Chains A and B, each alone.
Chain A
Amino acid sequence: NAGVTQTPKFQVLKTGQSMTLQCAQDMNHEYMSWYRQDPGMGLRLIHYSVGAGITDQGEVPNGYNVSRSTTEDFPLRLLSAAPSQTSVYFCASRLAVQGTQYFGPGTRLLVL
């Protein structure tokens, strides 16, 4: 199993540009989540999904959209990038509510 994969590993955007961060898992996990990690602020939940077709907001959803058309994929879209979205983004998945959550390697995003 590849586990949780994320692309790209690093991205530079200009303010106002849009992009999609890709996330995929091959463990048939129902639960998938997106977090952002900023110094001193830990991991903050952006959006999460409990299954295909079902998404919900986390702690910091503004400026981000998600969709879950398949069990495997959970892309995160930035509609109009802002410098405040400079961060490291982690995708994660787990089989059940109390299951082990597995994280991807992260995407480092710089918005100029």
Chain B
Amino acid sequence: GENVEQHPSTLSVQEGDSAVIKCTYSDSASNYFPWYKQELGKGPQLIIDIRSNVGEKKDQRIAVTLNKTAKHFSLHITETQPEDSAVYFCAASQGKLIFGQGTELSVKP
């Protein structure tokens, strides 16, 4: 079955810097790659997603890139703000949605 590895597990940046979170997946049949943000005490919420026929997608300060050959995808957050502090999860799907282990992002003012 699908296996998703996510790195780093924790990430600390200064406000205004960029943050990058990377994931790799094992099943070449996976064709949908969403990213979720989870704030303390809440369920995860979708922030951006990308499908296998697209290499890059951007939404304001957030972008995701996909390299199907290498089976990895990344989340890029630019101009980070304190409210970006949260746990971020990547996931991969070709039916079942399988998640990575999560990255705790801390943005210091």
Q: Do A and B bind each other?
A: yes
Q: A107 CA to B102 CA in the complex, in Å?
A: 19
Give the interface segment out of B11-19, B40-48, B57-65.
B40-48
Known contacts A40-B9, A104-B43; A98 and B32 CB within 8 A of each other: yes
Q: A94 CA to B34 CA in the complex, in Å?
A: 13
Known contacts A98-B32, A101-B34; A42 and B44 CB within 8 A of each other: no
* Interface residues on chain A, number (Cβ under 8 Å): 26
Known contacts A97-B93, A98-B31, A98-B32; A42 and B101 CB within 8 A of each other: yes
Mask, A92-109, CB within 8 Å of B = 1, is 101001101111111000
A-B CB contacts (within 8 Å), total count: 58
* Interface residues on chain B, number (Cβ under 8 Å): 24
Known contacts A40-B101, A42-B99, A48-B96; A97 and B32 CB within 8 A of each other: yes
Known contacts A97-B32, A98-B31, A100-B49; A43 and B96 CB within 8 A of each other: no
